[in-house]
Amino acid sequence: MNGKMWKKSLAASLAAGACMGIANDASAVLAPGRADTYVSAVISEQQKNFGADSVMKVAPDAFSLVRFNLSGTFSSWVCSDEIDRGTLMLWTRSVDTAGLVDVYIVNQDWSEMDVTWNTRPAASFVKTISVAEAGQYLLVDLTAQARAWMNEMNSVTGECSGSKAQNFGILLAPNAQQPARVAFDTKVSGAIAPMLDVTLFDHSAGVAGPQGAQGPAGPSGAKGDKGDTGATGAAGAKGDKGDKGDTGATGAAGTKGDKGDKGDTGATGAAGAKGDKGDTGATGVIGPVGAAGANGATGATGAAGPMGPQGATGAQGPIGLTGATGATGAQGPVGFTGATGATGATGAQGSIGLTGATGATGAQGPVGLSGATGATGSNGATGATGATGSNGAVGAKGDKGDTGATGAAGPQGPAGVTGATGTFGGVVARSLTGQPGIGLMQMSCDPGEVAISGGGESSNLNKTLLRTIPTMTNGVPTGWLVETNGAGQDVTTVYVICAH
C-alpha cells in the first residue's frame, strides 16, 4: 500500500471516529502532519532542536510548528474550489495552564530536524483559540488557508495548476494577555499525530424542493405596432359570361328615297321567329370642348341693396369651363350671407403618402380603477340544441409555457438538540519515526487493539516505499511494517490506524 492509498483508507476508517467529534463525511480526507516540533526560548535551549520529541509545547517560552503534506494526499485534479472546510486536529496531551493560543501562518521554509528558537521562521497572525482540557482533540478552523495551499483552477483550461500560497505550515504561540501552557502529541514514538481534516464539497444532486405557488399574472404588454400589409392574393377564377346588354338607342332615320313602283302583292309569309335582343350600341364620340370666352372686366361694386326674399332654388345647370382668373377688384362691403350652394363633386383621391416612422412607445399609464359591475341581464330563451358537429382535427401541440417564478424559501426550521460529546475510544492513529539511515520500521497497536490500516513515508520524497504490510499475531493484524530505500540522513516514519 503506497502513501496515497494509506491516506485514502485513513479517511474511510474515520467512520468509527464520531466519538472524537470529527466530521464524519464520505468526502473527508485526513492529511497527517509531515513535520512537527517546537522551539524553546530558554537561554540554554535556544540553539537546540526538538524534532525527535513526542510532544510539541506552547508556553510563554515555547512555540510549536507543524506542516502537512497536501500535495501527496490529494490528486492533482482537486482544486481549491473543491474544499468545503479544513480543520486542524491536535491531540492535547497535557494542560498545565488553561488559556489562549495564537495561530499563525508560517511564511518561510523550515526543517523539522534543524529548526531552533534562533532560526524559527517568520509568520503572520490568523486567529486566537482557547485551550482548557487535556485528553481530547483541539479543533481549529483553517478553511481559508487550506484552500490557499491547494492548486487553483485555470479559468481557460479548467485544470488545477499552482497554489495561491506556499505550504510552510502553521505556528502556535501563547497569547500575550492570557497565555496557555499546554503540550500536544507529535507523530513520534506512537503518539497521536497532528492531522488536517479536509472535507470536499459533495456534488451529488440534492432532493428537489416542492414547487412554489404560481405567481400572479403580469400586466398586459403595450399594444404592438400594426403589421405589414400582406402579399397580394392570387387572381380569382374567370367569372361566368354576363347577361346580354340592353338594346341600343334607335339610329337616325335615313334620307327618304324615291317612291318605287307598286309591286305585285306577294303571298303572306310565315311569321318569323323573334330575334335575339341586340347588343348595346357603342357610345358616340364626345365632341371637342369649345374655346373659353375672354373674361370680362370686373365692374365697380354697387351699393348693397336690401336683401330680397329667397327665391326657389333653380335646377343646377351644367358646370361650365373655368375661365381665366380676372384681376381682383377692390373689396366691397361685406354682403349678407347668401344661400348655401350645392356641394361640388368629390375630387379624385390623392396617392397614399409614405408611412411615417413609428413613434417611441409611451410610458404605460397607471392602472385605472375597476368600474362598477353592471347589472346582470335577464337570461334569454334557450334556443333549440343544434346537431352535434363532427370532431375537428387535433391541433398541433402548443409550446411549453414559461416556468413560474420560484416561490419564496420557507422559514428555517429550529436547530436540533446538540448531542452529548462522546469519549475518545474508537479509532486512533499511531506513528513512529526512526533514526536517520534506518529504512525498516514497525509500529504496533496497544493490547486489545486491531490494526485496520497503515502506511509510511520517507523524509526524502524521492525515496520509494519498498514494502508496506500489516504485522499479524495469531492471524489478527496488530501493527504495520514499512521499508524504504532510505540512506544517510533520510528518516523513515511508519503509521498505523488502530481500532478498539
Would you say residue 322 has pLDDT above 70? Answer: no
Dump strand ranges (E) for 284-437.
427-433
Is residue 373 in a domain? no
Cell 525527535 sits on residue:
52
Which residues neighbour 64 within 8 Å (Cβ) at sequence distance 6 or greater?
Answer: 36, 37, 38, 56, 57, 58, 171, 172, 184
Q: Range with the lowest mean pLDDT among 47-51, 164-168, 203-207, 249-253?
A: 203-207
Give the helix/strand (H/E) hosting 145. Answer: helix 143-149
- Residues 146, 121 share a domain: yes
Residue 399 has pLDDT above 60, yes or no: yes
Verify that 137 and 190 share a domain, yes or no. yes
152 and 6 share a domain? Answer: no
Hey, which residues does 200 pair with through a beta bridge? Answer: 83
* Domain end point (choices 169, 202, 235): 202
**End-to-end distance of the chain based on CA atoms, in angstroms?**
23
Per residue in 264-309, pLDDT tens?
776 766 766 776 776 766 655 655 655 655 666 666 665 655 666 7
Q: What is the pLDDT of residues 114-161, one digit of tens each?
A: 999 999 999 999 999 999 999 999 999 999 988 888 776 665 666 666
Q: What is the 3-state secondary structure (H, E, C) of 266-332?
A: CCCCCCCCCCCCCCCCCCCCCCCCCCCCCCCCCCCCCCCCCCCCCCCCCCCCCCCCCCCCCCCCCCC
Interatomic CA distance for residues 27 and 465, integer angstroms: 26
pLDDT at 38: 96
pLDDT (tens digit per residue) in 445-497? 888 888 888 878 877 766 666 687 888 888 888 988 888 876 677 778 877 78
Q: How many domains does the chain have?
A: 2
3-45: pLDDT as tens digits: 333 333 333 333 333 333 333 344 677 878 889 999 999 999 9
34 within domain boundaries? yes
Asked if pLDDT for residue 397 goes beyond 90, the answer is no
Residues 6 and 57 in one domain: no
Whether residues 7 and 116 share a domain: the answer is no
From CA 495, how far away is CA 484, in angstroms rounded? 14
Which of 139, 167, 202 is a domain's end point? 202
Q: pLDDT confidence of 64, banded at 50, 70, 90?
A: very high
User: 154, 184, 202 — which closes off a domain?
Assistant: 202
The model's confidence at residue 329, banded by pLDDT at 50, 70 and 90, is low
The per-residue pLDDT for 216 is 78
**Looking at the domain assignment, is residue 386 inside a domain?**
no
Q: Answer whether residue 379 is part of any domain.
A: no
The pLDDT value given to residue 500 = 75
Say which residue, 236 or 333, is predicted with more confidence. Answer: 236
Same domain? For 7 and 79 the reply is no
In angstroms, the CA 21 to CA 329 distance is 118
Residue 257 lies in a domain: no
Q: What one-letter code names the amino acid at 273?
A: A
8 and 94 in a single domain? The answer is: no
The CA-based angle 179-421-192, given to 5 degrees, is 60
Identify whether 397 is part of a domain.
no
Q: Are residues 26 and 154 in the same domain?
A: yes
Nearest alpha-carbon partner for 454 in 20, 32, 25, 28: 32
Say whether both 83 and 196 belong to one domain.
yes
Confidence at residue 27, expressed as pLDDT on a 0 to 100 scale:
65
Residue 366 CA to residue 12 CA, distance in Å, equals 65
* Distance (Å) of CA 485 to CA 1, 6, 134, 444, 479: 16, 19, 38, 21, 21
Name the residue among 483, 456, 451 with its Cα closest to residue 470: 451
pLDDT in tens, 405-439: 766 666 665 655 544 444 445 678 888 887 887 87
| Cell representation of residue 436 | 536517520
Alpha helices in 189-293 (DSSP H): none
Over its C-alpha atoms, the chain yields an Rg (Å, rounded) of 56
**pLDDT > 90 fraction of the chain, expressed in percent and rounded:** 21
List C-alpha distances in Å: 37 to 66, 111, 308, 492: 7, 10, 135, 16
* Nine-digit cell string for 265: 302583292
pLDDT at 255: 72
User: Do 35 and 104 share a structural domain?
Assistant: yes
E-only strand ranges, 186-342: 195-200
- Identify whether residues 85 and 5 lie together within a single domain: no
Domain around 445: 1-17+426-500
Q: What is the pLDDT of residue 256?
A: 74
Q: In whole angstroms, what is the distance from residue 13 CA to residue 20 CA?
A: 13
**How much is the average pLDDT of 296-324?**
64
Average pLDDT over residues 177-191: 87
In a domain, 223, yes or no: no
Taking a C-beta distance cutoff of 8 angstroms, is the pair 32, 7 a contact? yes
Per-residue cell: 128: 486566537
Write out the three cell numbers for 420. 452529548
pTM, to two decimals: 0.41
Could you report the per-residue pLDDT of 67-103, keeping only the tens digit for each? 987 766 666 567 777 788 889 999 999 999 999 999 9
C-alpha cell at 188: 513520534
